């Protein structure tokens, strides 16, 4: 386990090789081989250390590589503390699960990308894999970091890489704007995260996760007041809201679809967007002592899940449907953490990684087959041309819909059960969202793979110059090439789909609910495995949770499970009715509910509202500040400069004509006077004697005159 530091370093080496040497020297196969090999090495090492962790007595291991920042005296609430930042990595059940997800899903995405991005020019191809490796390096650093500061390095790193990957085709304005949007929105959330870290050090005098958890566990639960722990948790949650795309900072994630499809899969499935959920779970002790903040987390998660699901109902871009699905599923995870079910949230994070990566890569396979077409209205009957893609995506849709036996069923049922215990009305929101999820996912499946083919023709028509002559004009590709109709993707793309479909099918069996596990003699393995990462909760909360669970009977749990399955089934049945049996009915429904349909199609006009308020307000403020800068600040500076020049001219005149004039006049007088006095300097002693006598005489005369005038002016007695 001492080699855990090598897990993030390996993809970092791949990024360095491709970034420094690849663009100039490496061919496409070499660049892809380096990127895939380094990620594969990280995966193998992750499996190795994970197996060691399973067999360890104490499931926690910390490796300190160096003292990044030596101790610096800084003020804390208890006086002067020592701020230090060791470069340390922590392996425990939570981080162990995360490195398997990140490295495993990341490796499959790298493998998939080697074929999907093959039409890129060599330079762009190498650059893509450099960014992909770098992204995984920072994400692995984030989940393995033993302190808030190391986590923050990874946190900011994935934000930077998201900008590079989303805006990969930067010559497209929409892609460049999407990358900038993701970067700016995440900075808003990151500001809250930074403030939370500052307050953590001020309160506890340390940034080590374990030390903070132990100190927080000794503090009282802030159930009646909003104290320092609640403030810390709220600030941390602001950072999580930005990174994990929750209301009101979710707007960047749907636009992230402008990046290549493998980027969408990487960001949405296993890495960046799950960072916020991971951070909240990592600080379970802190959040458990701030119940008011946990209520906020649960409400934000539940409302986000429902809102995003309603938007996904009407989207026609296949990637946009999946994007809003991601936002909704992340809401589920925050709902779980908000009601105290941290293990259930982490469990759903794991299952979501499999089926969401599968669905995104499957959509990429469809887009690849359709000559970069993303509109589902221009697809149809794709199962005939892409059977492997169809079967694997069908499995992914069943999993995310919560169909019994697949991974999504187990994790979603766990969240729903824990939510019902905490808040029945939040459970109602979650169940309605589950029904919507089943509907829009099978709407995607039915519109894409069933019905009549609605896309462009090919074959003989594609050779002409008419509308059916389809060529690729994606600016990210090598140039135009003839399209020969929809077709199954290459093995390098379908094999990852099959592996992910297998994971989406069986991954949930590590978290069998107790009500089923008791019948078959199998416990909830993942909940017990992750428990050490969420310990040190207050005794009061622990007792309260145990008491609540004890009151949920087997009959009630079976009833809740059956009801959620029924809702999912109704969603699937409705999608089948509207998009397979009676496709015209969906068009009629949209016309009859044109107002609501328009609102959902335009995503509640949230982007427009942001443009009208935040963006225009910011730009207006910027213009106002620019005017102040130009007219006041620059005016003052320029006026000072003008005044300085004027005063320097006056000073020049005074110096030249008065000061220098007086000096020159004095010099002239002295020069002329010296000529006169020089005439008297004869060198004859008698002349000097006469002059002396004349002087004495003049002085005596002056004295007598003054004395005589003084007597005459005196008054008589």
Read off the pLDDT of residues 545-557 as tens digits, 9 standing for 90 and up: 443 444 456 778 8
Classify 455 in phi/psi space as left (phi over 0), alpha (psi -120 to 50) or beta: beta
DSSP class of 508 = G
Output the CA torsion 235→240→243→249 (10° steps): -70
487, β-bridge pairs = none
Place of tokens 């132990």: 214
Inter-helix orientation angle 28-55/122-144, to 10°: 10
Distance CA 139, CA 630 (A): 43
Rounded Cα distance, 298 and 246, in Å: 11
pLDDT digits (tens, 9 = 90+) for 477-488: 434 456 677 888
SS3 category, 68: strand
Q: In the chain, what are the helix, strand and coil shares in percent, each to the nearest 5?
A: 75, 5, 20
Q: Mean pLDDT check: name the lowest of 10-14, 591-595, 669-673.
A: 669-673
Task: Give the integer Cα–Cα distance in Å for 456 and 450.
Answer: 16
With bands split at pLDDT 50, 70 and 90, how would you rate the model's confidence at 79?
Answer: low
648/631 Cα distance (integer angstroms)? 24
Confidence tier at 522 by pLDDT (50, 70, 90): low
- Give tens-digit pLDDT for 121-152: 988 899 999 999 999 999 999 999 999 999 99
Integer Cα distance of 672 and 246 in angstroms: 94
Give the pLDDT band (50/70/90) at residue 703.
confident
Nearest to 56 by CA among 532, 536, 534: 532
Q: What SS3 class is residue 71?
A: strand
Task: Give the H or E element holding residue 94.
Answer: helix 93-116
Q: Does the pTM of the predicted model rise above 0.75? A: yes
CB within 8 Å of 658: residues ≥ 6 apart: none
- The dihedral through the CA atoms of 570, 571, 574, 579 has a sign that is negative
Those residues with Cβ within 8 angstroms of residue 389's Cβ, 6 or more apart along the chain or in another chain: 362, 365, 366, 369, 382, 488, 489, 494, 497
Position with higher pLDDT, 486 vs 334: 334
Separation CA 429–CA 436 (nearest Å): 11
Tokens (6 digits) for 673: 């006077």
């Amino acid at each position: 386990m001492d080699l855990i530091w090598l897990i993030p370093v390996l993809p970092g080496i791949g990024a360095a090789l491709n970034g420094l040497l690849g663009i100039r020297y490496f061919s496409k196969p070499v660049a892809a081989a380096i990127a895939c090999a380094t990620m594969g090495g990280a995966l193998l090492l992750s499996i190795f250390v994970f197996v060691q962790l399973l067999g360890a007595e104490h499931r926690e291991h910390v490796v300190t590589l160096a003292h990044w920042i030596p101790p610096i005296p800084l003020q804390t609430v208890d006086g002067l503390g020592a701020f230090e930042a060791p470069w340390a990595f922590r392996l425990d059940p939570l981080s162990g699960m995360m490195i398997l997800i990140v490295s495993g899903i990341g490796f499959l995405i790298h493998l998939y990308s080697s074929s999907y991005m093959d039409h890129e020019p060599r330079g762009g191809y190498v650059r893509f894999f450099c960014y992909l490796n770098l992204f995984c390096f920072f994400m692995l650093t984030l989940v393995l970091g033993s302190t808030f500061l190391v986590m923050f390095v990874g946190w900011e790193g994935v934000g930077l890489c998201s900008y590079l990957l989303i805006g990969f085709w930067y010559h497209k304005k929409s892609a460049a704007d999407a990358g900038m949007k993701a970067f700016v929105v995440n900075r808003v959330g990151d500001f809250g995260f930074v403030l939370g870290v500052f307050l953590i050090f001020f309160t506890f005098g340390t940034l080590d996760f374990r030390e903070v958890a132990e100190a927080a566990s000794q503090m009282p639960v802030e159930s009646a007041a909003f104290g320092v722990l609640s403030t810390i948790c709220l600030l941390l949650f602001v950072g999580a809201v930005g990174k994990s795309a929750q209301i009101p900072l979710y707007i960047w994630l749907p636009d992230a679809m402008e990046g290549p499809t493998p980027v969408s899969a990487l960001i949405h499935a296993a890495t960046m967007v799950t960072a916020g959920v991971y951070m909240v779970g990592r600080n379970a002790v802190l959040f458990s002592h701030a119940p008011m903040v946990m209520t906020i987390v649960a409400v934000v998660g539940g409302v986000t899940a429902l809102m995003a699901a309603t938007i996904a109902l009407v989207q026609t871009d296949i990637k946009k449907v999946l994007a809003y699905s991601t936002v909704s599923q992340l809401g589920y995870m925050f709902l779980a953490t908000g009601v105290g079910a941290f293990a259930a949230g982490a469990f759903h994070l794991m299952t979501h990684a499999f089926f969401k990566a599968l669905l995104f890569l499957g959509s990429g396979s469809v887009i690849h087959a359709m000559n970069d077409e993303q509109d589902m209205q221009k697809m149809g009957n794709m199962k005939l041309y892409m059977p492997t893609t169809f079967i694997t995506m069908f499995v992914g849709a069943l999993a995310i819909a919560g169909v019994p036996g697949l991974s999504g069923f187990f994790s979603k049922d766990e969240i729903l059960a824990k939510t019902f215990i905490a808040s029945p009305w939040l459970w109602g929101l979650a169940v309605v969202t589950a029904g919507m999820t089943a509907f829009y996912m099978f709407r995607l499946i039915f519109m894409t793979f069933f019905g009549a083919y609605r896309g462009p023709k090919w074959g003989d028509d594609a050779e002409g110059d008419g509308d059916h002559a389809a060529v690729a004009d994606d600016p990210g590709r090598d140039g135009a090439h003839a399209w020969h109709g929809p077709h199954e993707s290459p093995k390098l793309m379908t094999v990852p789909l099959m592996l992910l479909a297998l994971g989406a099918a069986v991954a949930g069996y590590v978290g069998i609910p107790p009500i089923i596990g008791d019948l078959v003699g199998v416990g909830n393995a993942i909940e017990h495995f992750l428990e050490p990462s969420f310990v040190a909760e207050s005794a009061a909360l622990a007792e309260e949770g145990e008491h609540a669970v004890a009151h949920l009977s087997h009959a009630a749990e079976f009833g809740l499970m059956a009801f959620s399955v029924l809702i999912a089934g109704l969603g699937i049945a409705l999608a089948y009715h509207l998009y397979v049996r009676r496709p015209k009915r969906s068009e009629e429904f949209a016309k009859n509910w044109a107002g609501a349909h328009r609102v959902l199609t335009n995503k509640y006009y949230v982007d427009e509202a942001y443009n009208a308020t935040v963006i225009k307000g910011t730009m207006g403020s910027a213009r106002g500040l620019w005017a102040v800068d130009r007219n006041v600040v620059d005016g003052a500076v320029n006026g000072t400069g003008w005044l300085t020049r004027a005063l320097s001219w006056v000073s020049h005149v005074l110096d030249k004509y008065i000061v220098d004039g007086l000096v020159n006049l004095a010099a002239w007088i002295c020069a002329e006077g010296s000529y006169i006095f020089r005439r008297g300097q004869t060198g004859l002693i008698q002349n000097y004697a006469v002059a002396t006598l004349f002087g004495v005489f003049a002085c005596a005369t002056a004295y007598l005159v003054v004395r005589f005038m003084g007597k005459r002016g005196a008054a008589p007695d």
